[in-house]
Amino acid sequence: MADQAMIRMRGVTKRYQRGGQLLTVLDKLDLDVPRGDFVALMGPSGSGKTTILNLVGGLDAPDEGSIAVADKDITAMSRGDLPGWRSRHVGFVFQAFNLVPVLTALENVLLPLNLQPLSRAERRKQAEFALEVVGLKDRMHHRPRQLSGGQEQRVAIARAIVTDPDLVLADEPTGDLDRESANVVMHLLRRLNDEMRKTLVVVTHDPVAADHARRVLHLDKGVLAREVTNPAPAGRSAAGAGGAR
């Protein structure tokens, strides 16, 4: 039977050299995230939140320990194998959206599909469906500068889910948004978890955003300091994003 953990970190240590000083960002961290979970990572700057996302997404490697994602030990994978694995299993959402300004919403969402063995028609169909999921199919020919910040982030979410990944990693997805737009984005992420069964790990400083998660993990100085289970997460799927602008 397949392992029920989407993420399993064991004894993970990560150090960085900064200003002639060796800093331990993660210190022998053990962390399990079950399939279908929605976890918010909170803690002060430098506590290791974004480092966890980078390690789990295969963008960086630990100095010690092991990381398994979707039953695959990614710490044992070669650098050449990681991009293909990542394109199939992981979607990323960033605070700064990271959209290409000269491309339309549709063209931005199509980008991750370039690594997939699909026909042009199949790629377009998947991209249009992803934009429909986030409520922006009617904006697919707009460029980022023609969209609001909240709409840009929803395009970024469409880009993250267009390959149908097992896992979505979001780094401060509401950090540059006003409260109304932030609520729309968090409702949408909640729908991805409720309705599409995506496993989500979200880094946030915003307790209102964290209230949408099933679990909130508080980190401090590279270790897990506290875990809070939310028995009634905010953002039920009925409050979808389709009507917001």
Q: What is the pLDDT of residues 107-161, one digit of tens each?
A: 999 999 987 888 999 999 999 999 999 999 999 999 999 999 999 999 999 999 9
Record the pTM: 0.88
Contact 215, 229 (CB under 8 A): yes
CA distances from 218 to 20, 40, 42, 87, 235 (A): 28, 8, 5, 29, 21
Query: 36-59+84-229: what fold?
Result: Rossmann fold (3.40.50)
Q: At 161, give phi and psi (nearest 5°).
A: -105, 0
Closest CA to 89 of 73, 108, 75, 69: 69
pLDDT category of residue 240 using cuts at 50, 70 and 90: very low
Could you read off the pLDDT of 68-88 as tens digits, one per residue?
A: 998 899 999 988 899 889 988
pLDDT at 243: 40
Closest CA to 112 of 91, 128, 96, 93: 91
CA dist 121 and 125 (Å) reads 6
CA angle, 45 then 41 then 182, to 5°: 90
Q: Which residue ranges make up each domain of the chain?
A: 36-59+84-229
For residue 119, give the DSSP letter: -
Q: Above 50 in pLDDT, residue 238?
A: no
Mean per-residue pLDDT over the chain, rounded: 90
Contact 168, 192 (CB under 8 A): yes
Work out whether the CA dihedral 157, 159, 161, 162 comes out positive or negative: positive
pLDDT at 3: 53
The residue type found at 86 is: R
Q: Above 50 in pLDDT, residue 237?
A: no
Closest CA to 25 of 242, 220, 198, 241: 220
Interstrand relation of 167-171 and 199-203 (parallel, antiparallel or unpaired): parallel
Residues 6+ apart with CB under 8 A from 100: 107, 108, 111, 144
